[in-house]
Amino acid sequence: MRRPAAADRERQTKLTRRILLIGGVQAVFVGVLGLRMRQMQIVDADLYRTLAEENRISLQIISPSRGKIMDRFGQVLADNRPTYQITITRERADDMEIVLRRLKVLLPISDEQIAAALADSKKTSAFVPIPVAERVTWEELSLVAVNLPALPGVNLETVLERTYPLGPDYAHVIGYVGRVSENDLADAGTGEPLLSMPGFKIGKISIERSMEQQLRGVQGTLAVEVNSSGRVMRDLERTDPVAGEDVTLTLDHHLQNFTLARLGDQSAAAVVIDVRNGDILASVSAPSFDPNLFVGGISSKDYGALRDSEYRPLADKTVQGAYPPGSTVKMSLALAALEAGVVTPDDSVNCPGFVEIAGRKFHCWKRGGHGRVNLQGALRESCDVFFYEMAQRVGIDGLNAMNTRLGLGLKPDLPLSGITAGLNPSRDWKLKKQGSEWRIGDTINASIGQGFVQASPMQLAVMAARIASGRQVTPRMIKSASDIPDSGFASMGLSSQSLDLVHRGMFDVVNADRGTAKASRIVADGQQMAGKTGSSQVFSITDAERASGVRTQDQLPWNRRDHALFTAFAPYDAPQIAVSVLVEHGGGGSTAAAPIARDLVLFYLNGGLPPPEAYPAEQRGRVGTDLARLSTLILPPDANGATSHA
């Protein structure tokens, strides 16, 4: 039976509407798709091309070679040596922990090292090699190489490691490098991608740290093609790194080496400065340590031994130690009194062994007193009572001003860590720090380098250099490109008469019959030195102890003995160097510090171990034995047989 024509037409109409609707939707979809394709392929083509390149190309950092550090003669003090290390790459290891456990069977690596490698891997990209073992021997490397098929992701690499050929000689001056810490990253900010590389090392203290930017160099880059999983397919472009700058120091490696040997096992420090240009020729703190221990990470046992020693081997006593300068400051007071016109060369003061000031007795180191002495004699015999009188005439303001002119209380501008400014006290300082007025007793104590006064061995060496030359000698440790024999330091404005009188007093200290350091005189022509002894109390002597008879220094416990100090310049007629020596708890400056200073002077002036004939005849037998012993402890001379100081 045929359907009515009307029904067929209605069905056809519905079908047509549906076709048009579907066609319209499809047309809209195709139109939108076309517009989007046009947007991506034409309008945004550059953006997606860049994104595709970034996904395809990986940029790797290449570490630069660290600059060398050398002494004034070119002796290498900090170098880089090739060494082997084992690394692992996370994206090539099936299971990092399993591979590392297999590696532990072959190498002496600890669970802590494995944990550190796993932690590092989570902080870096999957294709970045993570150090597992450093300083690997050739035998260990060969063993790992044979087993590489069972160690997916493990790499064998040759890298440059920092090394310090002279070990303890320059530990405090040069410092050492170590792994980058969180504090290092925080200090550097985000602009130092090198620091984020696992295993990268930077300077931690002293010159290695203060000159980090020059020594580090500039990183290189390597663009490599990687696949979707990050695996390297091929190298594309390489920019070579720029090696760090070499740094040349003013120090003399032979003198530095001899100074450390001469200080021996004492807790001590010594500084030698060229008075003509401010070059620091030796800066030694004893005992020292081997900085190579820190490069690969020092053990807890080794670090604990250094940290807990009462001799403080980790501290640089030359610039970090602040000590009462004792009688070495009397040279400053003498100059202050002469320049102020409150004393003449012929004025004298009677020393009965003490003086009473403001109802308090201030004693001289010599219980029976020195009798009547003038300024030259007071320097020669280190008479405290004479300088008590000068302190009252000059006042703390005058002493403070002269101390400043001589470099006390000022922080030397040197590339070392933890430099102290010491303390050159004044009225204002005491009022601000302690909230009390300055008293006459404070001035009396300051006049003999006790009380509030503090100075480092470096500052005392600068003081001696300025007194020797009459100029504002400024110490330097980095050798300039154009080395000049005389830097032309400005005059301190002190009269030649005042300087000459203080020089003669210092000469008498070492060379006159009643000089406090007569036993350390030099008899070689043209090599005599002028100096000043000092002893600074660690604990005050009570009235009861004084009345009962004070025990000698060698009867006291080591940490209650006085510090021993000595400052000097030489040769007396034409000064070349200034020397400062400190022996912690050494007792007396004349017995503990002055003999060391003499040996340093003679070693410098003779270009090596001096002949026994430079010493007084009665000392030559003992000196010969000491020099023979020292000859076994120091570096051999250069090819020419001596160290040149030209």
User: In terms of C-beta distances under 8 Å and separation of at least 24 residues, what long-range contacts does 398-402 make, across chains too?
Assistant: 398/336, 398/337, 398/340, 399/332, 399/333, 399/336, 399/443, 399/446, 399/447, 400/424, 400/425, 400/426, 401/336, 402/332, 402/333, 402/335, 402/336, 402/339
Q: Which of 191, 223, 248 is the last residue of a domain?
A: 248
Half-sphere exposure of 521 (CA within 13 A, CB side): 18
- Residue 226: its pLDDT value, please? 60
Whole-number percent of the chain with pLDDT over 90: 62
DSSP string, 337-348: HHHHTS--TT-E
- Residue 42: its pLDDT value, please? 67
- Residue 640 inside a domain? The answer is no
Q: pLDDT tens-digit profile of 494-532?
A: 999 999 999 999 999 999 999 999 999 999 999 999 999
- What whole-number distance in Å separates Cα of residue 86 and Cα of residue 107? 10
Choose, from 121, 327, 447, 520, the residue flagged as catalytic: 327
- Residue 99 inside a domain? The answer is yes
Q: Which of 192, 216, 248 is the last residue of a domain?
A: 248
- Residue 400: its pLDDT value, please? 98
- Residue 643 inside a domain? The answer is no
- Residue 117 inside a domain? The answer is yes
Residues 353 and 385 in one domain: yes
- Strand 69-70 and strand 247-248: the pairing is parallel
- Residue 550: its pLDDT value, please? 58
- Residue 295 inside a domain? The answer is no
- Residue 63: its pLDDT value, please? 83
- Residue 574 inside a domain? The answer is yes
Residues 239 and 269 in one domain: no
Residues 239 and 329 in one domain: no
Residues 538 and 392 in one domain: yes
The CATH number for 119's domain is 3.90.1310.10
- 587, 566 in Cβ contact below 8 A? no
Residues 101 and 130 in one domain: yes
Residues 210 and 320 in one domain: no
**Active site annotation includes 327:** yes
Q: Which of 248, 274, 305 is the last residue of a domain?
A: 248
Residues 440 and 506 in one domain: yes
- What whole-number distance in Å separates Cα of residue 166 and Cα of residue 475? 23
Residues 512 and 378 in one domain: yes
- Residue 461 inside a domain? The answer is yes
Rounded to whole angstroms, the maximal C-alpha distance in the chain is 157
152's tokens: 């997916």
Number of C-beta neighbours around residue 597 at 10 A: 29
Tokens 């029904």 sit on residue: 7
Residues 243 and 324 in one domain: no
- Residue 643: its pLDDT value, please? 46
- 129, 155 in Cβ contact below 8 A? yes
According to DSSP, residue 170 is labeled: G
- What whole-number distance in Å separates Cα of residue 125 and Cα of residue 466? 57
Residues 238 and 257 in one domain: no
Residues 81 and 230 in one domain: yes
Report the predicted TM-score, pTM, of the whole model to 2 decimal places. 0.85
Residues 537 and 411 in one domain: yes
CA 612 to chain centre: 35
123: left (phi over 0), alpha (psi -120 to 50) or beta: alpha
- Residue 124: its pLDDT value, please? 75
- Residue 44 inside a domain? The answer is no
- 236, 57 in Cβ contact below 8 A? yes
Residues 6 or more apart whose CB falls under 8 angstroms from that of 158 comprise: 82, 83, 84
- 570, 528 in Cβ contact below 8 A? yes
User: How wide is the angle at C-alpha 385 spanned by C-alphas 379 and 387, nearest 5°?
Assistant: 55
- Residue 40: its pLDDT value, please? 60
- Residue 44: its pLDDT value, please? 61
> How many structural domains are present in the chain?
2
Low-confidence ranges of the chain (pLDDT < 70): 1-8, 36, 38-60, 127, 189-191, 224, 226-233, 235, 481-487, 540-551, 638-646
- Residue 645: its pLDDT value, please? 44
- Residue 637: its pLDDT value, please? 81
The CATH number for 337's domain is 3.40.710.10
Stretch (H or E) spanning 70: strand 69-70
**Domain span holding position 231:** 59-178+203-248
